[in-house]
Structure 1
């Protein structure tokens, strides 16, 4: 999405420079008009990137009726990728309240799911394979308030 915005900005800058030049072809005129046009766009892009929450990749091991770690903390509004590494048998990673679910992962393999929690709170995650949840394969995702550091 950012790439599309940059391409559109470059096209607009090009049109402004070409139309603004008119009949003038001097190097000084071109440099001056280009410099004045580009600076505000660079500032806007920088501000947008600073305000965006970073992506967070969290590796979780799923084994015989456990998750490691079994408590995960993230910020509201932060894009999170859970990478589930299955240590021994089929497992998955599910959070019902956030509609989050990996595919079922075979032992020795991994799978992932990416999501952005928006509401602070505590959410249970679990393995939905067979009776793994009943045998204790559960954990807690804690979503904390996101604060922008200036």
Structure 2
């Protein structure tokens, strides 16, 4: 009789535990890696989902300094990049981008953020002349 009572209890524990696992996966950051080479990104389109964290790793495999910036985007930054290590100078810009990560040649940097509104947002390299040379792309934020 005791064994018969334990089976429904065990089944309930398994169901409740299984339900919680889905929530943990939903909150896991979307992993995105973008690599810069000399005057190019390895992708010109990134797709992520709104209201879900994004862990962006920016790698600079080129010989020049590069960054990835978006001027205007509704976003919550949850973990900022190490700008001191990147050594990137943005003092000549009239307006600062809302999303920015940079890396010196041969280095990488990361940024965790949550886009809050669906839409298409242009990303580009802010180093003088790099955007004009083609270092641009689109971040597509889709509805959850």
Shorter-chain TM-score range = 0.5 to 0.7
Count of residues in correspondence between the two structures = 110
CA deviations on 1:2-42 (whole Å, 9 max, x unpaired) are xxxxxxxxxxxxxxxxxxxxxxxxxxxxxxxxx9xxx7xxx
Q: Which runs of 5+ in 2 are unaligned?
A: 1-8, 74-97
Provide the rounded CA distance (Å) in 2 between the counterparts of 1:46 and 1:76: 25
3-state SS, counterpart of residue 135 of structure 1: coil
Which structure has the highest strand share of the two?
2
Q: 1:139 aligns with which of 128, 137, 140?
A: 137
Q: Deviations over 1:80-110 (max 9, x none)?
A: 12111111121011111121111x3111111
Q: Which residue of 2 aligns with 1:70?
A: 44
Work out which structure has the larger RCO, using CA pairs closer than 8 Å and 6 or more positions apart in sequence. Answer: 2
Shift of residue 75, structure 1, vs aligned partner: 0.7
What TM-score do the two structures reach when normalised by structure 2?
0.65
1:144 to partner: Cα distance: 0.7
Distance in 2 between residues matched to 1:133 and 1:112, nearest whole Å: 21
SS of 1:93's equivalent in the other structure is strand
Structure 1: runs of 5+ lacking an equivalent: 1-34
